[in-house]
Chains A and B, each alone.
Chain A
Amino acid sequence: MTAERPAVPASQRLEHAVGVVLRAGVTTSSVCLAVGVLWSLVTGESGAAHVLLQTGIIVLLMTPVARVVVSIAQYVSDRDWSFATLTAIVLIELLASAVAALMFNKKL
């Protein structure tokens, strides 16, 4: 097979990259959460189980953020500036939520 591979459209490269990030994030967090739940059922409230559960939750919360970051990178490399800007605004909104979370956390 010597036929040249057809160029993959930018939209398909982005879909692929996004799919990989989402799958990695959700798999990692599900494994952490499942092991954490089983661990705490076997050993009761233990430090290791707590760490696993917290890690699973944080990885889960970070997954959509990672997906947005990857999208920005892909749009920038495709020189699609309007969508790079739009996606960057989404990231800023997510960061605003994190800042609000930190402020609420401090206050209580």
Chain B
Amino acid sequence: MPVVTASLAAIIFTAGVISGSLGALLGLGGGVFLVPFLNLVLGFPFTAAAAISLTTVIATSSSVSAGRAGKQLINMKLGMLLEVATAGGSFLGGVTAQFVAQSLLQRLFGLVAAIVAVIMLTRLRRRNVMLDPGADPGVLGGRYYEDESRTTVTYRVKRLPVAVGASFIAGNVSSLLGIGGGIIKVPILNAWCGIPLRAAAATSAFMIGVTATAGAVIYYGRGQLEPALAAVAVLGVQLGSWGGMRFGAAASVKWLKILMALVLFIVSAMMFARGGR
């Protein structure tokens, strides 16, 4: 376990601010940046990095979803249904993380991230929406007001088993690698399940708090979570995501997708570099 000093706390706080703002801009948790930083740059054990990151993921999910509650952007019913899969996956992942070598999973993650990035880039112009506000969204679909187009967006959920499967895998990867898992869920919900990017990101961010908790509790019980470092990381990420949210609302969906795909490629390369060692 790393020794806590004031300068280390300051570095982690700054890293938290940066990953929090990038995460908010991209609709990701920010863990995809924080875990490689803590593990590769600061040399923390992978489990310690994952534990800190999962704690920040819970904080981001909670504060972002609290701010969005009441705007109908979060699809609560779909979220609660998919949480059954993510929390189960996360529980299994958290237990597995205590026994398994990380390298194979990291390479697998690198592969998945690259595939998802390609999907994002090939579906830039898809909107997945019915613009008739009277259309029936069904039990699991949703309806929200989109600021950019100034219209009410309605969508139905397609291929539910794909969404459930993706959520289970996302939950698993989440607690194994210390990320939120939105990196896996959001593109799949968007590309295959008919959910607009903003609603997919909001619903995923909402679910991630529960997903990360199922994993973080296990790291905490095992004594792999250093409270002081988790505290500065959480505060930094909170500040960063607050800042990123202001700017993120103005960013266009198309550029958001391109940016997100780019980030996925970088994360993929980092995971391969690490897992191949």
Contact = CB atoms under 8 A, between A and B. Distances in A.
18 contacts: A22-B65, A22-B66, A26-B66, A29-B59, A57-B230, A60-B234, A61-B55, A64-B210, A64-B212, A83-B81, A86-B84, A90-B80, A93-B87, A94-B213, A94-B217, A96-B91, A100-B95, A108-B223
A94 B214 contact: yes
Nearest to B175: A97
Report whether over half of chain B's contact residues are helix, strand or loop; otherwise say mixed: helix
Overall SS of chain A's interface: helix
Most chain A CB atoms below 10 A, which of B58, B62, B216: B62
Most chain B CB atoms below 10 A, which of A23, A64, A65 = A64
A67 to B, nearest CB: 7
Chain A contact-residue range equals: 35 or more
Interface residues of B, number: 49
A48 interface: no
A103 B217 CA distance: 12
Given A11-B72, A22-B66, A26-B66, 15 more contacts: A11-B76, A26-B238, A30-B234, A30-B235, A30-B238, A57-B220, A64-B212, A86-B81, A86-B83, A90-B84, A90-B87, A93-B88, A96-B91, A100-B91, A101-B220
Contact of B62 (A25, A97, A105, A108): A25
Given A26-B66, A97-B90, A18 B76 contact: yes
Contacts of A94: 87, 210, 213-214, 217
A105 B58 contact: no
B6 A64 contact: no
- Most A C-beta atoms less than 10 A away, residue of B55, B72, B88, B217: B217
Given A41-B6, A97-B90, A54 B227 contact: yes
A83 B77 contact: yes
Interface of A: 11-12, 14-16, 18-20, 22-23, 25-26, 29-30, 33-34, 36-37, 40-41, 50, 53-54, 56-57, 60-61, 63-65, 67-68, 71, 83, 86-87, 89-90, 93-94, 96-98, 100-105, 108
